[in-house]
Homo-oligomer: A and B are copies of this chain.
Amino acid sequence: VTRAERAVLAVLADERGFLSAQQIHSLLLARGDRVGLTSVYRAVQSLVAARVVDVHRTSGGEATYRRCGSESHHHHLVCRLCGRTVEIAAPGVERWVTSVTRDHGFRSATHTLEITGVCDRCTSADGNEISA
C-alpha cells in the first residue's frame, strides 16, 4: 500500500462520481498532497487490479474512476447522458459465462459486460443533451 494509493483513495472517498486521473491529481494538489501525475496513474492501476476501484470509459475516451461499492465482481449500468451508474450483480451471467467458456475449451477466462442506456431522470428531463 503506497502513499499515492492512500492519497487517491482519500480523494475518491470524498467524491461519489467518477473522476479522471487528471481530476484526481488536481484535487490532490488542491488538498496540498504533493503526488505526481505518474503516481496517480500507477495508483489507480493497482487499485483497479485490486478491485477496490471501478473504471468507466467516458465517451470522450478518458478513463474515470470511483470507489467500488463492493469488491466482488459486478457490472455497470451507465446512463450515457448524465453518467449515473448502478452497480449490478449478475450471478446467472457469471454461471453462463463459466459454462460456455468451458464448453469451448477455453481457460483462464475473464469477461466484461457493460450496459449503457438513458436513465429515468434523463428520459423525463427532455431535450437534455450531452454538452461535454
* A116 engages B120 (CB within 8 Å): no
Asked if A104 is at the interface (CB within 8 A of a chain B CB), the reply is yes
Which residues of chain B are within 8 angstroms of A92 by Cβ–Cβ distance? 92, 96
A93-132 CB contact bits vs B (8 Å, 1 = yes)? 1001100110011111111111111111001000000000
Interface size on A, residues (CB 8 A): 35
* C-alpha gap A100/B100 in the complex (Å): 21
Name the distance in Å between A40's Cβ and chain B's nearest Cβ: 17
Q: Name 27 A/B residue pairs within 8 A (Cβ), A-sorted.
A: A57-B59, A57-B61, A59-B112, A77-B101, A88-B100, A93-B93, A93-B96, A100-B115, A104-B119, A104-B120, A105-B119, A106-B117, A106-B118, A106-B119, A107-B117, A109-B116, A109-B118, A110-B115, A110-B116, A110-B117, A111-B113, A111-B114, A111-B115, A111-B116, A112-B113, A112-B114, A113-B114
Give the top 4 A-B pairs by smallest Cβ distance, nearest first. A109-B117, A105-B120, A106-B117, A111-B115
